[in-house]
Structure 1
């Protein structure tokens, strides 16, 4: 009988030791990743909050460049504007640098917005040319150098800092790696946070009239928990954008029917056909799908590349993300592929299509954008409360090293919030 009791006690002791061992492992992973990689979370979070409203901010800072007055006849008619695309492109071509090629065109975001047309040069330098949609006149030009890591314009600077840390191509990969490590830190933090039975209220709230140590701990755990889903989605979608091809490949392993990028499609060259122009690609898209507004047109990047026309605000398509992507052969003008919520072929495509809308918050309108904005602001709180927690633990270790009383006030306070 005594041996059975001893065996039971030994088994229970071993289980407790294993749990403590695993908990220490999760803590070490969470602690060191958060301490050394978390600083980048502050940068990514704050810049991400700004970029949620980057268009509005840029327009506010540069109204003469990015906004135009709506002609009176357009207001009185109350009908959708029909852009003279050929004149708009011709206006951009006239001011572009010599031997430039138009690569991308973005339509106005509202009635007061402008076209943004990207023109690449043989040297690798490029320009963004802004055109009044009603008058087909250029409102201004922004120029960029091929090796320009720090742009001259505020919003462009914030973009570069957000997705590459101003480190160019290597920075894009580095940010994706940091995002993966931060997701691991987030998951291990959730494991450590998970409360025991009957302690959910304590885990989900901030204690009233708490001391400095307890308040810091509560701020760290509550902000991390309440924003963990949004923050996890932001980090995952960041990996999707910075490491797109590997991300899509992994998705295809779980969902084989998932199609790759439309830019991988091929146009069929023909000696009898001259490549169509951007305005023709838009006309073809409208002829087949007349119910969408122009968002963007991406031109072929080679002799076998394709046009990709993007439409937005398509009536009745989706309540969350109403866009359509149309791939067009640059020679025949034939439609090669269509991507839209009603044309998805697999769960993987649905998963991929949601990455950018979630990252930007646009999938849920203003509510989604505000949540993403607040999540970015929460990142510094999560990080700095974690750093303070580390400092507190260093102090207690120093106290132990100095052979202080184990029941010291600081030791007791930290022990209570473990």
Structure 2
């Protein structure tokens, strides 16, 4: 393949895959703050009014057994903040696949604020994660994302070949020029 055709292919692939990069970049940036965004979108689940004292774990456990009788406790995350609920992981024994859920529990009253699926598929975070990894297209989206990854590897190699002179000048130390030029380039490097 000659240089002109490689340049044309490199340009076309770069422009056509730019939209994918924007989608993945923005969704990835939002995923960094996904749990905080979830909390902002559902304040009734994630924020409580703090009382003077928390109920003991034994009392909270008894209230959970009373409201959700057929379950096994898998984990309990005590909230570090006074205005946020505890997160309790439960396996529901009455379901055939013993699905795991996250219970948001008010530690001051023992009231269940909400039940989330373990993979948080019912939240903004999960939706954004699916957009980021599979473009909301399921298995085909994973395949498409993999294809874009291969295209980007090709883009990197073809870019290094096409812009070889820039790379050569970038890493060349200019020792025959003045000391001032050498230090300016070396420090910026």
TM exceeds 0.5?
Answer: yes
CA distance in 2, matches of 1:93, 1:25: 72
Would you say 1:43 and 2:13 are equivalent positions? no
State the distance in 2 between where 1:109 and 1:27 align.
56
Structure 1 SS opposite 2:48:
coil
Corresponding position of 2:87: 115
Measured against aligned partners, the alpha-carbon deviations of 1:169-210 in whole angstroms (never above 9, x if no partner) come to: 45345434433433443454455455165579xxxxxxxxxx
> In structure 2, how many angstroms separate the alpha carbons of the residues matched to 1:106 and 1:164?
31
Structure 2 partner of 1:59: 39
Aligned: 1:155 with 2:125:
yes
1:15-54 pair list within 5 angstroms: 21=2, 23-24=3-4, 27=7, 30-54=10-34
Instruction: For 1:351-390, list aligned pairs within 5 A.
Output: none
Do the aligned partners of residues 95 and 193 (structure 1) sit closer, same or farther apart at CA in structure 2, a change above 3 Å counting?
farther
Checking the alignment, whether the CA contact within 8 Å between 1:119 and 1:127 is kept in structure 2 is yes
How far, CA to CA, are the matches of 1:162 and 1:93 in structure 2? Answer: 40
Shift of the 88–37 alpha-carbon distance from structure 1 to 2, 3 Å rule, reads farther
Contact 1:119–1:128 at 8 Å: present in 2 too?
Answer: no
Q: CA RMSD in A?
A: 4.4
CA distance in 1, matches of 2:52, 2:145: 47
Q: Deviation above 6 Å: which 4+ runs of structure 1?
A: 123-126
Q: Is residue 91 from structure 1 mapped to residue 61 from structure 2 by the alignment? A: no
**Cα drift, residue 26 of structure 1:** 5.5
User: Aligned residue for 1:167?
Assistant: 137
**Normalising by the residue count of structure 1, what TM-score does the alignment of the two structures yield?**
0.30
Residue 105 of structure 2: which of 128, 131, 142 is its match?
Answer: 131
Q: Deviations over 1:24-54 (max 9, x none)?
A: 5754564344344443222211111111111
Within a 5 Å distance, the mapping from 1:207-356 to structure 2 comes to none
Rounded to whole Å, the distance in 2 between the matches of 1:25 and 1:110 is 59
SS of the residue 1:72 aligns to: coil
- Unmatched segments (≥5 aa) in structure 2: 172-189
What 5-or-longer segments of structure 1 have no aligned partner?
1-19, 75-82, 145-150, 201-418
The answer to whether the Cα contact below 8 Å between 1:105 and 1:118 also exists between their aligned partners in 2 is yes
Q: 1:127 to 1:26 in 2, by over 3 A?
A: farther
Structure 1 residues 123, 168: CA separation in 2 closer, same or farther (over 3 Å shift)? Answer: farther
Alignment match, 1:289: none
What is the distance in 1 between the residues matched to 2:90 and 2:13?
Answer: 39
**Distance in 1 between residues matched to 2:162 and 2:88, nearest whole Å:** 48
- Match in the other structure for 1:185: 155
Relative to 1, partners in 2 of residues 1:85 and 1:197: Cα closer, same or farther, differing over 3 Å?
farther
